[in-house]
Every structure is written in structure tokens, then in C-alpha cells.
Amino acid sequence: MKKLISLMMIMVLVVVTAACSGSDSGKETNKGSDKPQATNSGGSNSGDKEKTDEGAKNVLDGDKPTLRQLQPFNHFDPNNDYVAKFLEEKTGYKVKYDMLPEEMFNEKLNLLMANKEPYDFMKLGKDQFYNLVEAGALEPLDELLEQYGDNLKAGINEETWKAATVDGKIYGVPEGGTGLSASTNLVIRKDWLDELGLEIPTNRDELYNVLKTIKEKKNVIPLSGYKSIFPEIATTFDIPTLSSNAFAWGELNGELIQQAQHPKMKDYLAFMNKLYDEGLIDSEWPINTGSKVIEKFTSGKAAIMSVAWWSSPSIVSALAKNFPDAKLETLPYLTGDSGKPSVGAGAGISYYIAIPKWAKNKEHAMNLINMKLEENLFKELVIGEEGVHHKVEDGKYYPILPKFNDDLNNASHFLTGTDQRVYEDYWQARVRKDPVLQGYYEQFQQQAEGNFVVDPMSKAKPIESVSKYTQSLMQFSEDTYMKYIGGSDSLDTFDSYLAQWEANGGKEMVEDAREWYNSQK
């Protein structure tokens, strides 16, 4: 209800803004929701076009205004960061950066938009972007891109642009990621495995036997973890997953399904409940956090955990401090019912860069966003100056430490689009900052190669019902699954849970998602 009221407030103010702009139509102005001056209306002769183009160029003449950007929350001050100063020097634009709060960020965003806070551009998450498009709060960017977006159009592929296109108009610059990658995998105490004469497990049954032996012989937690959907086990039942434990979608017999609807979900939950009842997974699984799992593993209380490659240096260091002779080994991605491993992955958009309808400096904002994708500037934004921040060895980029970390640790926060032709190569310099980090990252990718299963909804355009119901249904499923795993609820009620899930918006959401999915075939 709060979200609906906020959106209605935004819609009303957008209409008022448009009306005011209309009453000033005779004035020479570039404020509010006026169209960019680059527009060449049909029927004008070549002389008129030259005058129009010249007028458009003049918009950028003179002193550059100070721009305001709204960003997601992060734990640093962007206004005093090295990258902010670098960008100002290279582009000539001074930007005042504001952040949304760490909590209640969507409510704050809606309030800012309802008050027409004079931001020139904003970095938005997918749902935030969709909600503001729906409210009519964002400027269509097609004409601005045509006039000022040559670098953006060259560096961002057509498929990625589709994700920011609604009803035939582009409302945001889509900031793509680094391509498919594996984030987590199971890591085991190899010294204990050797002590017990056990082989590395490669499938679900072998994992069960290893867990059972560890419990009987070592008196430690065989497998510690948290969250109801544990990707490294769920995928052995062919259940679609994402390493972020997000609301994953999959395809079954040519039809789009949501994770909760998978016919083997009940089997997966039964297996997890079996592990729990037999003491083969952490007794505190339902109340664990990621930090607690790491603490148990590094203090020698657990034999196996799922490690994210970015957490590997701290985990390896803490374990070595407590147990200098400990050895770790990464398991292969486990095979299951299908006879082959699978690794869930998303291929979506990280952020959308949008311009509010009432922004006063639309052309300058687009010009700055475009400048940041100029070939040399973009490279220096991502990995700094060669010989100072990075070096090239065997065709690969390596960071020069500590300068790379000191200056560029928060560089990704300043991205407003990526050149998809080169970004993945540049970005990998970040995982080469530490040999442990690099080792785990590269090993996970090698193990996952050829086994990725891409979430079919990861590149979907915003769908209202999906945005509306995802969070509530995800929490409902998480709470229910944990009760099944812990044994406080019987799996005999699973059909009732699924019926309630559908009644609470799941059915509507899936129908709308399938409509989009089928339209892409």
C-alpha cells in the first residue's frame, strides 16, 4: 500500500510538471520535461536541420554545470574518492554524489522522486527502475542517445539495450556485468579427508557417505551452511538456483517455471531434512548467518562449507592462523539426477542509469555518461593508469598494489554503463589482487565451464507482478522451507504450501512471466 501511494504521488507530480512545462512552451528553456533541442521534426528542410543541429550543440557550450547523481548505498564517501576527482579532471564535470540510505532505501527513493529532488541522473536497481518508469518519472533517452550517446551505443550490445526498453522507448542506460561466472562452491578440510581415507565426493550419494563418515569419526559438524536453498545440493535435483539464493527461474520441458514449482523441490527438501535429522548438516542451519558459518569452519568446528571466491582470502587466512597444517580442497560441482553438474547463473543488468523527467541538465548528464565510455577514459576508470595502477603480463591485466586498492577500490561505484567489448577483461584485474582470491576465482570458473544454466528471467524486462510479489513470496518460501528442513513442519503439507504460494501472487506472477518468455521464442 505504501508503495502504491508513493507511486501515485510521483505520477501526480509528473503530470503537474508536464503541465507547467507546457505553459512555458514559448520560452527558450531546457528545463523540466522539454525535449532535447537536438530534435529535428519531420518536414524541415536541410537548412532547418543544420540550424537545429547547431542549436543542439550549443546546449553544451559555456561553463559546465555541477551535476547531481543519486547512487545506491555504499560504505565510503564518494565525494572525496580518488575516482570522483579523476572523473572531474578528465571530463570537466563536477558531480555531487548522494547515496540512498542502507535501510528503507526504496521508501527514501520514492520520497525524493515525489518531491522532485533535482537530480540530473540516478543509478537504480531493476525494481526501482521499473517503478519509476511505471510512474512516468523518467525521461525517455532515445533522442539524447542519438545526439550525445555514440560511445554508449558502440559499447553496449543490442540485447542489453532491450532490458532498458519499455513500450519501444529506452528509459535507462543498462549497466551490464562481467558475463557468466561461478560465485560459490563447496570447500572441504582435505587433511581430515585424507586422515579418514576418503575420496573427494563427485555426486550427491558420495557426498552423503562422506558426511556420514565425518560425523562418526571426527565429531564435528560435517556440513555447515544457511538458507533453505543450498545451491550446491539443490542443483543435484535439477532445481534452478542462483548463488545469491535469489528467486531463481528455470525451464522444464520448454516451459518457464519458478523454483518453487519444480517437481523435485519436495525431494530436495526431504533430502535436506534427512541430513538435518541425521546430524549431517549444522543443527543451527535455520538460524545461521554467513558470518557464523565462516566462524565455525575456520575454528575447526565444521568440515565443509560453501565458499564465495571473494571471501576466500579471509577464510584461508583465518583457518591457517588457527590450524597451520590444515589443507583445503574445492569439490567439483556435484552431479545428481541428470548425470551432469549444473551451475546456476544470472546474465542480467546490474544497474540502470536514468534521468528524471524534471532534471535541468539532461543533455549534460547524457554527455557525461557517454564520455565515461570513451575508450581510454573507461579503461582508466576501471583499472587505472598503466604502470601506476596496473601492469600487463601475458596479455592479462594485473593490479599494482597497494596503489590499485588505494585509488580504485570503489571504482565500480562510479560506473554508469560498461563497454561490454572489454569490461570483463579489465574487471578480472580485481581478482588478481591476491593469489588466494585469484586461485579460487579461476578454479571455480574452470570447474563451471560448460555447466552453466542461465536463469531465463535474468534478462527479462521489468514485469509488474514479478516485482510486486517476488520479495513476499521469496520470504514465504524461505520460512516454509526452513520448517521442512528443521522438521517443525511435515512435508505432507507441501501441496498446501504451493497452493498458498500461488494464491499469494505466484500464479499471476508466473503467468505474466511466461507471457514474456514465450514472446522471446
Confidence of residue 349 (pLDDT cuts 50, 70, 90): confident
Q: Is a pLDDT exceeding 70 seen at residue 71?
A: yes
Q: At what angle do helices 82-91 and 375-383 cross, to 10 degrees?
A: 170
- Determine the average pLDDT of the residues in 41-61: 49
Q: Using the 8-state DSSP alphabet, how is residue 457 labeled?
A: T
3-state helix, strand, coil in the chain (%, to 5): 50, 15, 35
Q: Is a pLDDT exceeding 90 seen at residue 141?
A: yes
Higher confidence at residue 12 or residue 471?
471
**In this structure, what C-alpha cell is assigned to residue 22?**
507546457
- The side-by-side arrangement of strands in the sheet containing 221-223 is 221-223, 302-308, 184-189, 328-330
Q: How many CB atoms lie within 10 A of CB 251?
A: 14
Higher confidence at residue 348 or residue 438?
438
Give CA–CA dist 454/45, Å, rounded: 50
Higher confidence at residue 34 or residue 130?
130
Centroid of chain to Cα 506: 23
**In this structure, what C-alpha cell is assigned to residue 488?**
517443525
Q: Is a pLDDT exceeding 50 seen at residue 45?
A: no
Instruction: Quote the mean pLDDT of the chain.
Output: 89
User: Tell me: the pLDDT tens digits for 181-204?
Assistant: 899 999 999 999 999 999 999 999
**In this structure, what C-alpha cell is assigned to residue 517?**
518468455
Q: Which amino acid is at 361?
A: N
Quick one: pLDDT at residue 246? 63
Q: Is a pLDDT exceeding 70 seen at residue 10?
A: no
Determine the straight-line distance between the first and last CA of the chain, rounded to whole angstroms: 35
User: Tell me: the pLDDT tens digits for 265-276?
Assistant: 999 999 999 999
| Cβ–Cβ under 8 Å, residues 353 and 72 | no
Shortest CA distance to 469 belongs to which of 497, 516, 507, 515?
Answer: 507
Give CA–CA dist 410/81, Å, rounded: 8
H or E element, residue 28: none
| Cβ–Cβ under 8 Å, residues 491 and 266 | yes
Global model pTM greater than 0.85: no
Higher confidence at residue 306 or residue 460?
306
Quick one: pLDDT at residue 347? 74
Residue 236 CB burial class (10 angstroms; 0-12, 13-18, ≥19)? buried
Q: How many CB atoms lie within 10 A of CB 212?
A: 15
Lowest mean pLDDT: which of 65-79, 159-173, 290-304, 481-495? Answer: 159-173
Quick one: pLDDT at residue 245? 55
Quick one: pLDDT at residue 520? 85
Quick one: pLDDT at residue 84? 98
Quick one: pLDDT at residue 102? 87
Where do the DSSP E strands lie in 139-281? 165-166, 169-170, 173-176, 184-189, 221-223, 249-252, 255-258
Confidence of residue 57 (pLDDT cuts 50, 70, 90): low
